Amino acid sequence: MKKIALLGSTGSIGQSTLSICEAYPDRFLPVAFAAGSNVELAFDQCLRWHPQIVSMATEQHAEALSHRLEVAALYDTDVVYGTAGTVQVATLPDADFVVSAIVGVAGLEATYAAVLAGKTVGLANKECLVAAGDLILAAARERGVALLPIDSEHNAVHQCLRGGAANEVKQIWLTASGGPFRNTPLADFANITPAQALKHPTWVMGQRITIDSATMLNKGLEIIEACRLFDLPPAQVRVTVHPQSTIHSLVEYIDGSILAQISVTDMRLPILYALSWPERMASELTFDMSALSQLDFQQPDFERFPCLRLAYEAASTSQAHCIALNAADEVAVDAFLAGKLSFVGIPRTIEHVLALTIGGSPASIPEVLEADHAARELAAEIVAKQ
Q: Which residue is nearest to ligand NAD (CB)?
A: 11
User: Does residue 340 contact residue 383 with C-beta atoms inside 8 Å?
Assistant: yes
Q: Is residue 106 involved in binding ligand NAD (CB under 6 A)? A: yes
What mask, x for binding ligand NAD by CB under 6 A, covers residues 24 to 63?
A: ----------xxx-x------------------x------
Q: Residue 338 is which amino acid?
A: A
Q: Is residue 125 involved in binding ligand NAD (CB under 6 A)? A: yes
Closest CA to 269 of 203, 347, 332: 203
What mask, x for binding ligand NAD by CB under 6 A, covers residues 290 to 329?
A: ----------------------------------------
d(CA 296, CA 382): 38
d(CA 25, CA 40): 24
- Give the residue, chosen from 145, 205, 328, 353, that forms a contact with ligand NAD under the rule CB under 6 A: 205
Nearest-approach distance from CB 328 to ligand NAD, in angstroms: 16
**Is 232 buried (19+), middle (13-18) or exposed (0-12) by CB count in 10 A?**
middle
Question: Which residues inside 138-157 make contact with ligand NAD, applying CB under 6 A?
Answer: 151
Q: CB under 5 to 8 A by kind: which of Mg ion, ligand NAD, none does 35 bind?
A: ligand NAD
Q: Is residue 102 involved in binding ligand NAD (CB under 6 A)? A: yes
**Is 256 buried (19+), middle (13-18) or exposed (0-12) by CB count in 10 A?**
exposed
- Give the residue, chosen from 46, 98, 241, 267, that forms a contact with ligand NAD under the rule CB under 6 A: 267
User: Could you tell me which stretch among 38-46, 91-99, 147-155, 226-234 binds Mg ion (CB under 5 A)?
Assistant: 147-155
- Give the residue, chosen from 78, 127, 151, 329, that forms a contact with Mg ion under the rule CB under 5 A: 151
Q: Is residue 78 involved in binding Mg ion (CB under 5 A)? A: no
d(CA 171, CA 233): 9
Q: List, in sequence order, every residue forming a beta bridge with 30; answer none if it has no partner.
A: 4
d(CA 189, CA 110): 37
d(CA 31, CA 11): 17
DSSP state of 28: E
Spell out the residues 6+ positions from residue 196 whose beta carbon is closer than 8 angstroms to its own.
180
Binding stretches for Mg ion (CB under 5 A): 151-153
Binding stretches for ligand NAD (CB under 6 A): 8-14, 34-36, 38, 57, 86, 101-103, 106, 124-127, 151, 203, 205-207, 209, 267
